[in-house]
Amino acid sequence: EIVMTQSPVTLSVSPGERATLSCRASQSVSSNLAWYQQKPGQAPRLLIYGASTRAAGIPARFSGSGSGTEFTLTITSLQSEDAAIYYCQECYHWPPTYTFGQGTKVEIK
């Protein structure tokens, strides 16, 4: 069973600053890693897939990196509308398990 661990649990960042979120897989998932953003009362939204490819319509301030077991989501120049919970998800295993991390909450200072 694969476990996805995100850190930190909560991140407080000032507007205009950089936010760096981490996701670690308990075993290699190659580059098969996605990031989602979920705002209160809303459905998740796909941000990044393939570890580093932005989904359609996602602003360039969101970027993903990593492979294997260590991944990073970076939000440069944080905006107030970026306050949300961010989840990583592995999409490597088949049959699928689509395991999500527990989420990182990004707060605006």
d(CA 21, CA 8): 7
Which range touches another protein (CB under 8 A), out of 9-17, 28-36, 63-71, 75-83?
Answer: 28-36
Q: Smallest distance, Å, CB 14 to another protein?
A: 26
Interaction between residue 94 and another protein (CB under 8 A) = yes
The answer to whether 45 contacts another protein (rule: CB under 8 A) is yes
Task: State the Cα–Cα distance between residues 70 and 24, nearest whole angstrom.
Answer: 5
Asked whether the CA dihedral 19, 12, 69, 87 is positive or negative, the reply is negative
Tokens 């088949």 belong to 94
In the complex with another protein, the residue whose CB is nearer, 16 or 95, is 95
> Measured between alpha carbons, how far apart are the two ends of the chain, in Å?
37
Q: Closest separation between CB of residue 76 and another protein, Å? A: 23
With CB under 8 A as the contact rule, the residue among 21, 23, 64, 89 that binds another protein is 89
